[in-house]
Structures are given as C-alpha cells and as structure tokens.
Amino acid sequence: MILRLKRNLLQKFAIPERNLLLYMNAVEEKYNDNPYHNRVHAADVVQSTHVLLNAQSLESVFTDLEIFTVLFACAIHDVGHPGVTNQYLINTNDQLAILYNDSSVLENHHLAIAFSLLGQPGHDVFENFPRKQRLSSRRMIIDMVLATDMSKHMSLLADLKTMVETKKVAGSGILTLENYIDRMQILQNMVHCADLSNPAKPLDLYRQWTNRVMEELFQQGDKERELGIEISPICDRNTATIEKSQVIYMIHTYDIIFVLI
C-alpha cells in the first residue's frame, strides 16, 4: 500500500503488481512464527522507515530507486529468522554459521532467501528494471541488510554522527549527500533505526514488542541451558531484568533517531 498509494513507485518502475503480490506472499510464508522476528516485525520496520523518510532533514534527499530499495530491504530484512542470535548459531556450530563463516550469519541468510525467491516464476519484482538499476538496487539491499547486524551498531553510529555534522548545509538542517557512501550511511542507519524503533512507539505497543523480544531471548536461553552451554546475556529468564535491558535498548535507539531527525 505504501508503494502504490503513498509513493506511486509501482508505476514509476513498471513493477507488475501481480509479481509484487506473489513475491511478498512468498516472503511472508518464509517468515517463521517467532515471538518477535516474524512477519509483523517486518511490516513494522517498513512502516517505521516510511515515517523516517518523511523527516524534514531528509526531504528530497533520496531518489525513487533508493526509496523503493530501502522499503524492499526492510520487508525482507529478517526473512527466515530462526529466533536465535548470530552468536548462538556460532556457538552451536550451526550449519548457517558454517555456511557463512561466522560472519553476519543471519543477515546473509535473510538475503539469500530473499534473492532466491525472486527467481521463482512470476515473482521477479525487478523484471522491468534496466540492468544497471537492478544491479544497483541489489547492491543497496545487501549493504542495508548486512548493516542490521547488531555487532556493527557502534561503528555505524560513530560514522553517522561524523558524516552528518560535516554534511549539513549551514543553517538549513538539510543534508547534502553527493556520493554513494554518504547516502548509504544514512539509509543503513535508517533501516537499523527502524529495526530498533520499538521504544519510540506508543507505550502499549512498545510493551507488547518488549514482551515479545524478551520471550524470544528467553527461549534461546532455555535452549542454551538444555545444551549445557553458557546462557547469553539477557537470555536467562530466571535472572534477566527487563527494565535494565530496555534502558540500554532505548539509549541505542534514540542515539540514531536524534542524529537522523
């Protein structure tokens, strides 16, 4: 609905609506019924990114291709998520960790599923894109989804703060982004921010998301206990404090929001 009604991107890129519907239905089916990393979370991140794109400081900054690509990346950014962290997969010698050499394991997994689904008959959302646009969009999707790896959080934020302060037009608050690296920094952090934006939602909704993410972490802790391995931080339902975990969560989130807006 955002693509068609709010931004008219389907018409601009001659995207067959049937292809988009078939593809998104396939993506939705690939999302597992985890407490937190599920299809509803994906939709929430798409909507949150749409809101961030409307920030005054980002007005007319991005091209239509970049806008379509970032919304697409949000929709697929957690597809096939197994409900455990990268570190859990590494610690348990999971096949995904072996496949991706312990590097951004989940993020590479999500991307592989998303691009594989495009190859199914009638599912290619990009079939009418010129080759150069298609390759550019693919590169951006990869860069944005890989940036959702929480191990990259601090470096992303530090680079963003430095870049924003040097790129603002004096007195206007509007960003000037002349090259791919600058534009990608903003888009990567936008997706990352939307991915962590639960504390910025209405309180009742925030509480629901908090309960869901904590339950998913606790389920991982239960698995770790059964395997006899060290229980990951915040994953022990017998000792974890939700309040403290959310203070840290909010600090991370609002750091990015204030820089972007």
- Residues annotated as catalytic are 37
Tell me the three state secondary structure of residue 118: helix
Total residue count of the chain as it appears in this document? 261
Do the Cβ atoms of 96 and 216 come closer than 8 Å? no
Do the Cβ atoms of 256 and 192 come closer than 8 Å? yes
Query: How many CB atoms within 10 Å of residue 186?
Result: 24
Alpha-carbon distance of 77 to 82, in angstroms, equals 13
Residue type, 247: V
Alpha-carbon distance of 20 to 10, in angstroms, equals 9
Would you give the DSSP letter of residue 6? I
Tell which residue, 189, 190, 260, 248, has the closest CA to residue 217.
Answer: 248
